[in-house]
Amino acid sequence: MKILKKALAIILTLVIMSTSFVSAYAEESKATEAVSFSNISQEELLNKQLSEKGDNKITFFEDGVTDFVIVMPDKCTDSLNEAVVTLQSVLEEMTGTKLPIVNENQADDTKKHLCIDTVMNTQRPTDNIDDGYQIVIDDKKISVCGTGENGTRNGIYAFIEDILGCMFLTPDDTYIPQQKNIYLEKMNKIIKPAVQWRDVYAYETVQNKWAAKLRLNGIDIESDQTLNIEQLQYEGWGTWCHNCYTYLSPEDYFEEHPEYFSEKNGKRVTEYKGREAYLCLSNPEVFEIVKDSLAKKIAENPDQLYWDFSGNDNPFLAGCECEKCKAADKAAGGTGMGTLLPFLNKLAKAFPDKYISTLAYLHTLKAPENIKAEPNVVIKLCSMPGDQADSYLDGENPNSKQFKDQVEQWSKITDKIVVWDYVVNFSHLLMPFPNFAVQAKNQKFYEDNNIIGVFHQASREKGGEFACLRSYVLSRLMWEGSNMNVAECVSKYIAAYFGEAAPSVLEYMNLCASELYNSNQALGLYDGLIAHYDGYLSESNVEKYSKFINKAKAVVNGNKLLETRLEEVELSVLYANVLQPKIDENERQTVINRINELCDKRDITMVCEWESLESFNQNGLKNAVSAEKKELMKPYLIAGGIVAGIVVIAVVSVILFRTIKKRKQN
């Protein structure tokens, strides 16, 4: 009888375990409440106040006529000159009148001036406006001015968007309302960005110098735009990341000094599992070589303010495992920062007029104990593992809470943190990714923790899901700060970009966002479709998305521009459809044919960060669908296995019970 009781107890325990396992299989997230995007009519999109006179207003244009001329500095950079020409072009398209552009020494005092200045005379010593600007509007003069040319350029683009009501929608598209009468409110405002260093790492932001119009300062807009995305990004940084071998290379030193490199399993290595390894930072000779190398780099590029020293990108190796390095990391609470941060502090003291940065990433992600950062040390903190459904401010999902805790811990060590945020699904660049709801709260979290810079990493490949919209919203949010109404910003963008098709696009976006919220699922950076198969990417939801897109296409039928723009959204819905595990294979082929047609038209060559469209057509789609089907069945197979095990245990228990009973009877 005791054996039977034990067997029943085991069975009951296994049943409870199997139930818990299956119910916990899907990762849950208390998602930030979905934003609701509202339809804005084309009439509402117009800034009607511009056409209304008022007691506190000046007349800028009346019936397309103006008394103003644009006055600019005698000498300026190409990017500032381009901004002035853009202002002239926008005003001409709005009003039908082309304002003359004259240099300061040619200005006619009988005319009213729209002055482009680069010296802010009213700046107080306490005003730290970074690359902000001042706009003054009075009866005789309009002035757009920064403390330097970058700020003035930002002011010009702000004047075009925030005062004239235009929108820089994409690298090639600007929304410009027709406005013959323009009456401007008198003002004297100094505006500065909410984030000091701002970048959206995306293919689109570096095209046609769109980054300048978005008022980003993390992209070198003065450089030759034929350069690739990697060469244009990271404005102000002499070195960026994963670069320790550029200071001390294996080619130069390993043969004679293997002790300069990381130890693994008792051996010094420069590579581990096919990836570059690290340096041995506890070796004093390593510091001297790195310091001398950095000095040379700074001498070659003295204008660069930020200089990074980071470990290589190797997820399989947690730094150097020699006794000294292990002891330092252990003393710091079990983080690679036990060796790295003291090394950085010494570099920072050697170069006090520069910022010395490093990555908090993988084994160096965790903040160290009992070590403070030097005032000129910058920590680039990666949002790992991250969750784009739950904000870092709320931190109610394990992934978002982990990053929230890391930021708060690092904030006790330094007041100079650059957040490296991931805002895209790297595994499926074309798949719907409704992550707009968390962005304002994330920005608020950055502000609360004195974040000095944000690097939003999106897709480096062309044509990602809502790539331009996401870049636009994130850029404005970093400028305006967390008080910006994200829903209103998105709604205005959709109205301006999609015109009559906007209501259907908004229906699609709202359903996406609400279904993600209702599912309580985390939104990960590598999620497959099955992660949201019971949520926003279910068969029924994707079918609804398709109906919204078809409805939008019917509305704009014949409008080639809007039809082309709608294809961006259609492509994402098609991609979600082609991965559905249960659709007929003939239908799947029809969908992939349409995907290929649209990708070819839009010159899209990559479907994820490491797989091309060509590979996707050959084997990638088949493998992805197969993996999705296995993942879909996995909880049931596991539960079935557990139940089968329970049955076996029950049968064995019964046999044992009967055997014992017979023995007692005999």
Q: Are 577 and 594 in contact (CB under 8 A)?
A: no
| Residue 583 reports pLDDT greater than 80 | yes
Please write the tens of the pLDDT for every residue from 224-273: 777 778 888 899 999 999 999 999 999 999 999 999 999 999 999 999 99
Bridge-based pairing state of the strands 141-146 and 133-137? antiparallel
Question: Does residue 332 carry a pLDDT above 80?
Answer: yes
Verify that 120 and 4 share a domain, yes or no: no
Residue 75 burial by CB count (10 A; 0-12/13-18/19+): exposed, middle or buried? exposed
- Spatial distance between the Cα atoms of 369 and 342, rounded to a whole number of angstroms: 12
Beta pairing class for 275-276 and 417-422: unpaired
Residue 472 lies in a domain: no
**Same domain assignment for residues 142 and 272:** no
Over residues 441-487, the pLDDT tens digits come to 999 999 999 899 999 999 999 999 999 999 999 999 999 999 999 99
Quick check: 490 pLDDT over 60? yes
How far is the C-alpha of 634 from the C-alpha of 577, rounded, in Å? Answer: 21
d(CA 662, CA 666): 6
φ, ψ at 385 (rounded to 5°)? -80, -20
* Residues 239, 504: Cα–Cα separation, whole Å: 45
**Long-range contacts of 290-298, Cβ-Cβ distance < 8 Å, separation of 24 or more:** 290/244, 290/247, 290/248, 290/343, 290/347, 291/346, 291/347, 291/350, 293/246, 293/247, 293/248, 294/247, 294/347, 294/350, 294/351, 295/351, 297/238, 297/239, 298/238, 298/351, 298/354
Question: Per 3-state DSSP, what percentage of the chain is helix, strand, and coil (rounded to 5)?
Answer: 50, 15, 35
Is 300 within the bounds of a domain? yes
More confident residue, 229 or 300: 300
3-class SS at 582?
Answer: coil
168 in the same domain as 82: yes
Would the pLDDT of 656 be above 80?
Answer: no
Q: In terms of residue numbers, what domain contains 85?
A: 57-185
| Gyration radius of the chain over CA positions | 30
Give yes or no for residue 305 having a pLDDT over 70.
yes
Helix (H, G, I), strand (E, B) or coil at 29: coil
How would you class 590 by CB atoms within 10 Å of its CB: exposed for 0-12, middle for 13-18, buried for 19 or more? middle
CA distances from 228 to 231, 240, 437, 612 (A): 6, 15, 31, 18
pLDDT score of 560: 96
What is the model's pLDDT at position 23? Answer: 36
Both tokens of 521, joined, read 């699922």
List the structure tokens of 98. 């082309």
pLDDT at 127: 46
CA 408/CA 446 separation, integer angstroms:
10
136, 9: one domain: no
Tell me the CA distances in angstroms from 622 to 184, 615, 618, 635, 637, one per residue in order.
Answer: 59, 10, 8, 22, 21
**Looking at 243-305, which runs of residues are DSSP E strands?**
263-264, 267-268, 271-272, 275-276
The CATH number covering residue 262 comes to 3.20.20.80
Q: What tokens were used for 474?
A: 């994130």
Q: Residue 32 has what DSSP assignment?
A: P
162 and 254 assigned to the same domain: no
* Residue 76: DSSP 8-state: -
Predicted pLDDT at 22: 36
| 322's tokens | 């020699």
Whole-number pLDDT of residue 626: 77
Question: How many whole angstroms separate alpha carbon 312 and alpha carbon 277?
Answer: 6
Q: Is the pLDDT of residue 15 over 50?
A: no
Terminal Cα distance for the chain, rounded:
17
Q: What is the pLDDT of residues 594-633, one digit of tens each?
A: 999 999 999 999 999 999 999 999 987 888 777 776 666 5
Report the percentage of the chain scoring pLDDT > 90. 77
- From 328, 352, 382, give the residue that closes a domain: 382
Single out the residue in 343, 363, 382 at which a domain terminates.
382
- Give one DSSP letter per residue of 402-427, joined into a string: HHHHHHHHHHTT-S-EEEEEE-S-TT
Residue type, 195: V
**pLDDT for residue 16 is more than 70:** no
Instruction: Please write the tens of the pLDDT for every residue from 147-190.
Output: 889 999 999 999 999 999 999 999 999 999 999 999 999 999 99
More confident residue, 291 or 140: 291
Instruction: Please tell me the distance from the alpha carbon of residue 243 to that of residue 250, in angstroms, as a whole number.
Output: 12
Are residue 11 and residue 62 in the same domain, yes or no? no
Same domain, yes or no, for 130 and 20? Answer: no
Task: For residues 285 and 293, give the distance between their C-alpha atoms in angstroms, rounded to a whole number.
Answer: 12
Q: Are residues 16 and 93 in the same domain?
A: no
Mean pLDDT of 563-580: 96
Question: Is the Cβ–Cβ distance between 392 and 410 less than 8 Å?
Answer: no
In a domain, 124, yes or no: yes
- What pLDDT score does 108 carry? 79
* Residues above pLDDT 70, as percent of the chain: 88
Q: Kindly tell me the sign of the dihedral angle through the C-alpha atoms of 252, 254, 258, 263.
A: positive
State pTM to two decimals: 0.89
Give tens-digit pLDDT for 79-116.
999 999 999 999 999 999 999 999 988 877 778 999 99
- State the CATH number of the domain containing residue 162: 3.30.379.10
pLDDT value of residue 612 = 94
Q: Is residue 520 part of a domain?
A: no
pLDDT of residue 24: 36
Contact criterion met (CB below 8 Å) for 465 and 572:
yes
Total count of domains within the chain: 3
Domain C-terminal end among 332, 351, 382: 382
Which pLDDT score, from 0 to 100, does residue 642 have? Answer: 62
Q: How confident is the model at residue 19 (pLDDT cuts 50, 70, 90)?
A: very low
Q: Which of 57-71, 113-127, 255-269, 500-514 is predicted with the least confidence, judged by mean pLDDT? A: 113-127
321 confidence band (pLDDT: 50, 70, 90): very high
Same structural domain, 244 and 313: yes
